[in-house]
Structure 1
Amino acid sequence: MVVTGIIVIVTSVILANNSRFGGIVQLENLTYDVALTVRQAQVYGISVQRYGASNFSSGYGMHFDSNDPQHYELFADADEDGYDVSENVPPSPYTIRSGYRIHKLCVPQGNDAVSCDPVSQVDIIFHRPEPDATIHINGDSAINDSARIVLISPRGDIMSVVVENSGQISVRRPGQ
């Protein structure tokens, strides 16, 4: 009877923590997927990734919109004016599933993964030959030092992708 009770308690603890662990792993995977997609835009932007039949000078970038927290887009900046929804630049949309979403887009205030000034749109663009990022906030032409894409799980766990104007792309947890 005592052994059965111990087994039930241990099993309950393991099963209760398993769903939380699985959720954190999925959030971590999503965060790294977003970071790798930004890195893909960087590689396209600094390498000879052709857009269209003969345009080798196009920059490539990522578009994030807080009004559409389930999607983000990789796009070609054919006319070098940033993301423009009316252009004939076919974006590659990415969909976030299973209740995970972009929690907020922001300009960092400090070093932790949560403190930042919220914004509605972030465009990150990479142009040849430099790996540096051109970061535009809310469609403005001003260039910012960095941007943070904060992702959240259905349970409320948070991780973020930080892109610096130097081209550095990092994944951070709260407190980092």
Structure 2
Amino acid sequence: MTRGFTIIELLVVIGIMTVITSTMLMNYPEFSRRLAIEREAQIAALALREAEERAIRTQQAGGTFFTPFGVHFDLASPKEYVLFADTKRSTTIPAGESDFYDSGEALETMVMGRDVRVKDICQHEKNVPANCDIDSLSIVFYRPAPLIKVNGKTSGNPPVDLGVPDFEIHVGTEEPDNEQTIVVWTTGAISIED
């Protein structure tokens, strides 16, 4: 009885390994792209949670104790979004006041990696009719109660309180099927969907 591999067994194993390796390598770019989109959606959702957490804890910004914190998305700069402290507002929330990101309030600007960008911003997507005409969106968290105010801006119009319960930020690449959706409810729930 001889020990070892025959040439046929060796060729079969090499053939199987070649098929498996080539299949994995062919799918790698798509896998890598989906992973990048998923990662960027998670980071954006974490930025929203960080703004909420900063608003609830006793952190001051600009010497003001009741400073609201928020995250601003703008389709004019689709590869970045801004974590900001709304230092240019008063300590109360007057009726009709539109708290929106102003330049100079940025705490941190996050830049999305690879080809990932904010594709679309929609309001009331979970209910019909949805509106995806929003060009920029500021999601602001207030203290001492964790209130959320969402202000949006459409082309050529000033920012207004949108007053609907849910918003969606679509993050992805140019391909239509490569997308993750960050859903933000005014109740404070934040989720990520395919």
Q: TM (normalized to structure 1)?
A: 0.85
RMSD: 2.2
Letter in 1 for 2:111: T
Q: Which residue in the other structure is 1:121 paired with?
A: 136
Q: Which residue in the other structure is 1:130 paired with?
A: 145
Q: Which residue in the other structure is 2:164 paired with?
A: 144
Q: Which residue in the other structure is 2:78 paired with?
A: 69
What is the alpha-carbon distance in structure 2 between the residues aligned to residue 94 and residue 41 of structure 1?
13
The answer on 1:170 being equivalent to 2:187 is no
- Post-superposition Cα deviations, 1:48-75, rounded to whole Å, max 9, x if no partner, equal 11002x3111101111111210110011
Structure possessing the higher radius of gyration over alpha carbons: 2
Aligned runs of 1:15-54 on 2, under 5 Å? 15-52=25-62, 54=63
What is the alpha-carbon distance in structure 2 between the residues aligned to residue 13 and residue 90 of structure 1?
45
Structure 1 gap segments, 5+ residues each:
none
What is the alpha-carbon distance in structure 1 between the residues aligned to residue 65 and residue 164 of structure 2?
26
Q: Which runs of 4+ in 1 moved over 3 A?
A: 153-156
Q: Which residue in the other structure is 1:106 paired with?
A: 122
Could you say what secondary structure the match of 1:144 adopts? coil
Could you say what secondary structure the match of 2:106 adopts? coil
Structure 2 gap segments, 5+ residues each:
1-7, 91-97, 154-158
Give the counterpart of 1:95 among 111, 121, 133: 111
Could you say what secondary structure the match of 1:109 adopts? coil
Instruction: Report the Cα offset of residue 91 of structure 1.
Output: 3.9
Could you say what secondary structure the match of 1:117 adopts? coil
Instruction: Report the Cα offset of residue 16 of structure 1.
Output: 1.4
What is the alpha-carbon distance in structure 1 between the residues aligned to residue 25 and residue 192 of structure 2?
28
Q: Which residue in the other structure is 1:14 paired with?
A: 24
Q: TM (normalized to structure 2)?
A: 0.77
What is the alpha-carbon distance in structure 1 between the residues aligned to residue 30 and residue 170 of structure 2?
19
Could you say what secondary structure the match of 2:131 adopts? strand
Letter in 2 for 1:32: Q
